[in-house]
């Protein structure tokens, strides 16, 4: 039986669209545009895609382009048992009709549009659930000591030791562009950006390493040998007209890195034990796909194709 961690009222969601232009100095300037929109309106704008890349390019270099929405994502990495892994979320995307391993991602609520770092902190806290064998959840804090939200406190006891978010991650998604400002203000967390043509949307990408290891006498770390990496995901309950936040015990993929690049070693993690997932089963989301000036025309890329592309790029760079 699926465990329901919480319920959300989708009718409470509000956001605004953003218009983005690239100035002469190469800075991507985003402006928050009125009026407010609810989630159904946002979804309607996304369905108007795909965006024409030539039209987008002209608009970015001119008066600006009005996107369906501004989303937030983050590259996450962690170290365990001598190896470094990229963390990806397993998700069935009903709006796009695919199943992918994607970055921790979410929509940006109106209250967080001026400072989207707060939105991604909420997404990390909700979607990444390191659960210890005694049923406690390891929560997160920034290197500066800022505590991330602690959702589901009615479901789980929170571990007394926090994992620390440090920057940057040990992996970089390809083809992102930067820098970006919103209403003239540089963004906390220094995210980069890509443009998702199939949904006519812009996506901010942050970069964090999840440090579970001890760094000093004040932070002795968390023993991952008894930790299960779980995930929560939102599913719409048609009958109740509510979003159900569901626990997905195998919802986080750990993709081993080598030299800062993905490999075909993919795992889920339960009580410190890694269980292999066949790489042929892994479709990565568009965030991992090749991009041209930040634009990505496809909605996913098989992991095996991604690895062939990276190998080809390395060959070109080695033998010009």
Per-residue pLDDT tens for 193-208?
999 999 999 999 999 9
Q: What is the mean pLDDT of residues 97-122?
A: 96
Question: Tell me, what's the pLDDT at 242?
Answer: 85
Q: How confident is the model at residue 254 (pLDDT cuts 50, 70, 90)?
A: very high
Reply yes or no on whether the pLDDT at 249 is more than 70.
yes
Spatial separation of the C-alpha atoms in residues 89 and 94, rounded to whole Å: 15
Spatial separation of the C-alpha atoms in residues 261 and 172, rounded to whole Å: 8
Establish how many alpha carbons lie within 13 A of residue 63's alpha carbon, considering only the half-sphere containing its beta carbon: 1
Reply yes or no on whether the pLDDT at 216 is more than 80.
no
Q: What is the mean pLDDT of residues 232-256?
A: 91
Cα separation values, 158 from 37, 151, 174, 250, 251, Å: 35, 10, 35, 20, 20
Q: pTM to 2 decimals?
A: 0.95
Reply yes or no on whether the pLDDT at 74 is more than 80.
yes
CB distance 255 to 77 below 8 Å? no
Q: Which is more confidently placed, 319 or 30?
A: 30
Q: Where are the domains of the chain?
A: 4-12+72-172+206-318
Phi, psi of 192 (to 5 degrees): -105, -175
**Alpha helix segments (H runs only) across 30-76:** 39-46, 53-60
CB distance 138 to 212 below 8 Å? yes
Spatial separation of the C-alpha atoms in residues 247 and 252, rounded to whole Å: 11
Reply yes or no on whether the pLDDT at 214 is more than 80.
no
Nearest to 235 by CA among 1, 56, 10: 10
Reply yes or no on whether the pLDDT at 250 is more than 50.
yes
Question: Tell me, what's the pLDDT at 316?
Answer: 76
CB distance 252 to 91 below 8 Å? no
Question: Tell me, what's the pLDDT at 35?
Answer: 97
Question: Tell me, what's the pLDDT at 306?
Answer: 97
Cα separation values, 23 from 13, 76, 113, 144, 153, Å: 31, 30, 21, 32, 45
Question: Tell me, what's the pLDDT at 221?
Answer: 83
CB distance 86 to 77 below 8 Å? yes
Q: What is the mean pLDDT of residues 208-225?
A: 79
Reply yes or no on whether the pLDDT at 173 is more than 70.
yes
Question: Tell me, what's the pLDDT at 217?
Answer: 46
Residue with tokens 């949904």: 199
Question: Tell me, what's the pLDDT at 1?
Answer: 58
Q: What is the mean pLDDT of residues 269-288?
A: 97
Spatial separation of the C-alpha atoms in residues 132 and 271, rounded to whole Å: 7
Phi, psi of 309 (to 5 degrees): -65, -45
Q: What is the mean pLDDT of residues 173-199?
A: 97
Q: What is the mean pLDDT of residues 78-94?
A: 95
Spatial separation of the C-alpha atoms in residues 305 and 310, rounded to whole Å: 9
Average pLDDT of the chain, as a whole number: 94
Spatial separation of the C-alpha atoms in residues 140 and 142, rounded to whole Å: 7
């Amino acid at each position: 039986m699926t465990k329901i961690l919480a319920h959300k009222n989708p009718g409470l969601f509000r956001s605004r669209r953003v218009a983005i232009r690239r100035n002469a100095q190469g800075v991507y300037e985003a402006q928050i545009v009125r009026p407010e929109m609810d989630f159904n309106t946002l979804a309607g704008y996304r369905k108007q895609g795909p965006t024409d890349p030539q039209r987008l390019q002209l608009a970015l270099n001119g008066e600006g382009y009005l996107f369906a929405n501004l989303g937030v994502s983050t590259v996450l990495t962690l170290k365990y048992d001598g190896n470094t892994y990229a963390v990806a979320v397993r998700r069935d995307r009903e709006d796009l009709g695919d199943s992918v391993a994607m970055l921790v991602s979410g929509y940006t609520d109106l209250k967080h549009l001026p400072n989207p770092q707060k939105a991604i902190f909420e997404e990390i806290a909700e979607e990444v659930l390191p659960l210890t064998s005694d049923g406690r959840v390891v929560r997160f804090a920034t290197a500066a000591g800022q505590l991330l939200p602690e959702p589901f406190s009615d479901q789980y006891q929170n571990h007394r030791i926090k994992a620390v978010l440090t920057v940057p991650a040990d992996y970089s998604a390809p083809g992102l562009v930067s820098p970006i400002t919103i209403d003239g203000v540089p963004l906390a967390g220094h995210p980069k950006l890509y443009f998702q043509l199939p949904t006519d949307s812009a996506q901010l990408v942050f970069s964090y390493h999840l440090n579970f290891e001890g760094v000093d006498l004040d932070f002795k770390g968390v023993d991952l040998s008894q930790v299960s990496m779980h995930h929560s995901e939102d599913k719409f309950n048609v009958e109740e007209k509510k979003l159900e936040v569901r626990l997905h015990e195998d919802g986080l993929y750990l993709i081993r890195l080598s030299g800062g690049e993905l490999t075909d070693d993919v795992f889920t993690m339960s009580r410190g034990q890694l269980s292999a997932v066949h790489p042929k089963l892994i479709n990565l989301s568009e965030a991992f796909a090749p991009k041209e000036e930040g634009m990505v025309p496809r909605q996913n890329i098989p992991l095996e194709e991604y690895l062939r592309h990276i190998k080809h790029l390395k060959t070109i760079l080695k033998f010009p």
